[in-house]
DNA sequence: TTACATCCTCTAGCTACTGTAGATTCAAGC
DNA sequence: GCTTGAATCTACAGTAGCTAGAGGATGTAA
């Protein structure tokens, strides 16, 4: 039986995060000691590991909820899990493309900075003048 | 003189976002009509364009605050602006490296999914088993 | 004048946590 | 058994960067 602190250590999670997952229903309510402290078993350890690993791969908590649900029903078709993973892959690829464009522009900015007064600073100039910008404008977030 | 709606259109910003920028002191309090509606001039248009362009390049609002301050003082040294841009470039490169690793793993997951029952689903299996994971664990976020 | 788009303020919500305060519990050492 | 100190408990507030909605006022064209 694990305390919440030990579970946290084993999974690389913060204690508060575990309680948060419980609160939003991603983790089940665990057993308690007489004094009211949470105690966890292997099932919970596995579930939390699954969640953390998925988070590291960039899945949203909602996506993880679906994946956990699929994982709980081995007789269901695998298609949905596959679709979620593909969606995630597409998102990652979009973000990468976007970051690549940003990197190009940032590199150009930094390269051209001559190191004088801000009045002649290329960095600020580029930010001021949108027309030299190559990136598209729909979305921010990186 | 621009209404807030027209300023929003010209800069690709939402009206609420402009008011939010004003609230946090990133945009100045503009003049008002007798009826209390905001009216903007060219200075504000320029400033908002600068902010939006910087956001598109991934700068945080705090970083933008610094950049605007530098931009307002042409006699200052350019070094700080350069440093901020370099910091941003480093961040972008870190994120790209991370996304690259994620993409590799997601591709592997999706590739190996044979499309049967979830009981045999590679996607879920990979998420369950952390040991095959190549990514490092310090940070989530994309 | 009337209709209607746009504007106003205020408040709450989003994601995924993180931090704090003040009280309680657990486990180890004596 | 008692003390001590780390870990736990609940509850609430805060983070970034917006976004959405209610309910009412204003601006403008026909």
Residues B57-85 have pLDDT tens digits of 889 999 999 999 988 888 887 888 888 98
The stretch B91-102 carries a mean pLDDT of 88
Tokens describing residue B68: 């605007």
Q: Determine the average pLDDT of the residues in B42-60.
A: 93
Instruction: Summarize the confidence of residues B79-104 as an average pLDDT.
Output: 88
Per-residue pLDDT band at A134 (split at 50, 70, 90):
very low
Class assignment of domain A4-60?
Answer: mainly alpha
Q: What pLDDT is attached to residue B131?
A: 60
Q: Which nucleotides of chain D have an atom under 7 angstroms from any protein CB? A: 7-11, 16-21, 25-27
Q: Within 7 Å: CB of A93 and strand C?
A: no
CA distance linking residue A63 with residue B142, whole number of Å: 15
When pLDDT is averaged across residues B126-137 and rounded to a whole number, the result is: 62
User: Which pLDDT does position B136 carry in this prediction?
Assistant: 45
pLDDT at A4: 98
B15 CB and strand C closer than 7 A: yes
- Selection from A56-65, B11-20, B70-79 with the highest mean pLDDT: B11-20
What CA–CA distance (Å, rounded) separates B120 from B113? 9
Mean pLDDT, chain A, whole residue set: 86
Class of the CATH domain delimited by B4-58:
mainly alpha
pLDDT for the residue numbered A126: 83
Q: Is the pLDDT of residue A129 over 80?
A: no
Confidence of residue B133 (pLDDT cuts 50, 70, 90): low
Backbone dihedral angles phi then psi of residue A95, each to the nearest 5 degrees = -60, -40
Q: CA-CA-CA-CA torsion for B120, B122, B125, B126, nearest 10 degrees?
A: 170
Question: Could you tell me the distance in Å between the CA of residue B93 and the C1' of nucleotide D25?
Answer: 49
Three-state DSSP at B14 gives: coil
pLDDT at position A47, please?
Answer: 96
Q: Do B107 and A89 touch (CB under 8 A)?
A: yes
| Distance of residue A38 Cα from the nearest chain B Cα, in angstroms | 23
Q: Which residues contact A10 (CB under 8 A, 6 or more apart)?
A: A2, A45
* Residue ranges covered by each domain of chain A: 4-60, 79-132
Band of residue A30 on the pLDDT scale cut at 50, 70, 90 = very high
Complex confidence, ipTM: 0.79
Picking from A56, A62, A48, A50, the residue whose alpha carbon sits closest to that of residue A4 is A48
Predicted confidence (pLDDT) at residue B116 exceeds the cutoff of 80: no
User: Mean pLDDT score of chain B, rounded to an integer?
Assistant: 86
Is any atom of nucleic acid chain C found less than 7 Å from the CB of residue B19?
A: yes
B26 pLDDT higher than 70: yes
Query: What pLDDT, in 10s, does the model give residues A98-124?
Result: 888 888 888 888 887 766 677 778 888
Res. A132 pLDDT band, cuts 50 70 90: low
Q: What is the spatial distance between Cα A67 and Cα A21, in angstroms, rounded to a whole number?
A: 15
């Amino acid at each position: 039986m694990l305390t919440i602190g030990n579970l946290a250590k084993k999974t690389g999670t913060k204690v508060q995060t575990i309680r948060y997952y419980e609160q939003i229903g991603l983790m089940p309510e665990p057993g308690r000691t007489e004094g009211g402290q949470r105690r966890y078993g292997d099932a919970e350890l596995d579930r939390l590991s699954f969640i953390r690993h998925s988070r590291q791969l960039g899945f949203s908590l909602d996506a993880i909820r679906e994946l956990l649900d699929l994982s709980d029903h081995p007789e269901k078709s695998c298609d949905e899990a596959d679709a979620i993973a593909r969606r995630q892959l597409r998102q990652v690829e979009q973000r990468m493309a976007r970051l690549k464009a940003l990197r190009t522009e940032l590199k150009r900015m930094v390269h051209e900075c001559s190191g004088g007064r801000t009045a002649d600073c290329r960095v600020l100039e580029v930010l001021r003048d949108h027309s030299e910008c190559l990136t598209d404008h729909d979305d921010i977030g990186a």
